[in-house]
Amino acid sequence: MTDPVGLFNLLFPFFGVIALGFGFARIAKVPEGGLAWMQLFLIYVALPCLFFRLIGDKPIDELANWRFIAATTLSTAIAFGLSFLTGRLSGLRPSETVLGAVAGSYSNVGYMGPPMVLGLLGPAASTPVALIFIFDTVFLFSATPGLMALAGVERRSVLATAGDVGRKILTHPFVIATIVAILASTYRLRPPVALDTMIGWLSGASAPCALFLLGVTVALRPVGRVPRDVAILVAIKLVVHPLVVWLVLAGLGGFDPVWIEAAIVMAALPPALNIFVLARQYGAGIERASACVLVGTVASIATLTAFILLTQSGALPLNPFR
């Protein structure tokens, strides 16, 4: 998709719906509490249905691509480490350093990733999209409370923290949907027609609702002074992270070009909204979280477009070491 019109037609709906949410939030002045039902619908209904459809019909050997899982998770860990180092060098408090590391490494893989990557690359990209979402989420939602515990923010034992992390991961609606989808794939189970139709409706609602909610959420968290380290964190997220993914996957070799391109685009997405949840949970870095999501989302219009053009045109070769 190297022609400007085709790329515009792909990207405009995504950023357009975000802009609609942002605009309506500024005009309508609806209190933030009104978002609770939309968040509940997305997290517990629509997005789990989307992930079930993404991987429920995939062969189990395609899902068990441990080389790809290790490579993409390692790339996210490198971005996390670079962002963590940025916070340390900037003199941030330990809790703010950890949250900054999340902002610099955790893409918006739930809300923007599946519809955008599938719109660009088609159904062949559904498996890598699902794997990146699952294992990036597991890594970051394990590393964050673990580091918070080491920093003394989580005032519980390591064992208690580990147990809480395991429980939250295993009971997360996306993970449950993934487990059900893997079982369906393993035993070749298919939902009845009526249920499958409902799942299709709900999964189709996930992208517009998620993007609209993203715009509303950003609008309701106005950014005052932008901390100086935000520019570095956003640069790591939008530029360094996808380049690391490209180099790691290309260096290992043997991956389908569609999988490589899907991983690069997923890494080039802006910071996820989850940073807001974590910032509120730990009572730290809320303004920095707002700035990272706002600046990252706006800047990604240019950087994401650039990475899509580079990969689609071949200017960023998917096998540079051959």
For position 153, what pLDDT does the model report? 60
Close Cβ partners of 175 (under 8 Å, ≥ 6 residues apart): 134, 137, 138, 169
Give the relative orientation of helices 257-267 and 126-150 as an angle to the nearest 10 degrees. 40
In three-state secondary structure terms, 107 is: strand
Quote the CA–CA distance of 177 and 53 in Å, as a whole number: 9
Q: For residue 137, give Cα distances in angstroms to 94, 111, 142, 195, 287.
A: 21, 13, 8, 28, 23
Quote the CA–CA distance of 295 and 134 in Å, as a whole number: 25
Close Cβ partners of 185 (under 8 Å, ≥ 6 residues apart): 55, 56, 57, 58, 59, 60, 63
Greatest C-alpha distance within the chain: 57
For position 259, what pLDDT does the model report? 94
CATH for the stretch 4-222+229-312: 1.20.1530.20
Tokens standing for 308? 């899509």
Residue at 107: amino acid letter: S
Give the other-Cβ count within 10 Å of 152's Cβ. 9
What values do phi and psi take at 174, rounded to 5? -65, -40
Tokens standing for 233? 């964190």
For position 42, what pLDDT does the model report? 84
- Among candidate residues 209, 216, 205, the one with its CA nearest the CA of residue 30: 216
How remote is the C-alpha of 11 from its chain's centroid? 17
For position 224, what pLDDT does the model report? 61
What values do phi and psi take at 112, rounded to 5? -100, -30
**Over its length of 322 residues, how does the chain's per-residue pLDDT go in tens digits?**
556 777 788 788 888 888 898 898 888 877 777 777 888 888 888 888 887 887 777 777 777 889 999 999 999 999 999 999 998 888 888 888 888 898 899 998 877 888 888 888 888 888 898 889 888 888 887 887 777 776 656 566 666 766 776 777 777 787 788 888 888 877 888 889 999 999 989 988 888 888 888 888 778 766 666 677 889 999 999 999 999 999 999 989 889 999 999 999 999 999 987 787 777 777 777 778 888 888 898 899 899 999 998 888 888 887 776 6
pTM of the model: 0.85
* Residues 35, 216 contacting (CB under 8 angstroms): yes
